[in-house]
Amino acid sequence: MGKNSMLVVLVICALIVGGCLNTDQSGDKNHGKNENTKDNESDKQNAYEQENYVPIQEYTGEGFTLRDANPKTGEIAEANREEVVTAVEDFFINKYKTEVDVHNIVSAVDGVSVFVESVGEPHFYSFAIVPIDIKNKEVKTDQVWSQEGQVEYAIKGGLYAMAFEEEFTKLDEYLKSVAKEYPVVGTPIKVIESIKGNGYTTPYYFIAPSGDVFEDLYSLYIQNTDITKEELKLFFKEQTLEPKYLSVGIEFYMQDQDVDPDEDILNNVIKDLEEIKGIPQGVYSITLNDNYIDGNRGIGKKDSTLRRTTPNKVIKE
């Protein structure tokens, strides 16, 4: 091979090697960018958690924020609190023939969500919306409304709990015993009063009714809001209620901070629920969170949360 040919070969090899080196370096740079992006996302998440996560025992609902809420609506409502409270109480009396107590007023987009608890039975938590004219700083007390079916759903759950008082008492006692036996806690009543509005709710669970039977039940109540437990029991004796139409969502938090949810505790509760007799008919889901709740959203579920839910809920006939 001549000198010129040798030189060409050496140049080509150099270009190939150089190209390979450049390609590798480019890859390293992109890899670094990906790592930096992940680190930034992780830093943002950690910063959010430090600012908003609160031990469940310390949380009262303070800081809870609805999506796209305008703080000015809450300020106007608080300045006219007595007027807002009266309007909501009248709304529940006039539309649902049910007396309520107002617990909390939370800013929304064009108004405020007012969280309430029923007085007496059927017992439930719910909310109504009061529109606010921000420009004129006016509370539109004649336009109070509720989300379609939301209050009806709450009433249905409360009526079911009335009809099966003994069964719910047994469920309550069992879940209280879980909190004594294991290092877990439920949701404080103050939180339920202030931000939940989930219908029939206790520190350890809430219930979700559905189906035609509950539609008939609601109609029965609206016709006679003085309905008795005996009448409710008779109603259910005459109906066929499949378990799938009544969901019971159980939720616990770990008692101690910086402790991951314990899978053994979850499995033991599941086993107990499968074996226990005399609790309400329905399908049961179980959730076990760590100790912290997102104070901004009022939610305890995270990536670390353990749960038994659809399609493997515990079915009680």
pLDDT digits (tens, 9 = 90+) for 140-149: 999 999 998 9
What's residue 43's pLDDT? 56
Which residue's structure tokens are 């909501």? Answer: 88
Contact at 8 Å (CB) between 107 and 73?
A: yes
Mean of pLDDT over the chain: 87
What is residue 9's three-state secondary structure? helix
What's residue 68's pLDDT? 87
Strand partners, 145: 129
Evaluate if residue 270 carries a pLDDT over 70: yes
What's residue 62's pLDDT? 86
> CA–CA separation, 303 vs 317, rounded Å?
32
pLDDT digits (tens, 9 = 90+) for 201-253: 999 999 999 999 999 999 999 999 999 999 999 999 998 889 999 999 999 99
Would you state the structure tokens that stand for residue 243, as one six-digit string?
A: 């378990």
Contact at 8 Å (CB) between 291 and 259?
A: yes
Total count of residues recorded for the chain: 317
Domain limits, the chain: 3-56, 71-147, 151-316
What's residue 267's pLDDT? 96
> CA–CA separation, 81 vs 103, rounded Å?
11
pLDDT digits (tens, 9 = 90+) for 7-64: 333 333 433 334 433 444 445 555 555 665 555 655 566 777 777 899 999 999 888 8
Q: How many CA atoms, within 13 angstroms, populate the side-chain half-sphere of residue 314?
A: 25
Strand partners, 207: 248
CATH code linked to domain 71-147: 3.10.450
Share of the chain above pLDDT 70, in %: 86
Contact at 8 Å (CB) between 101 and 95?
A: no
pTM of the model: 0.82
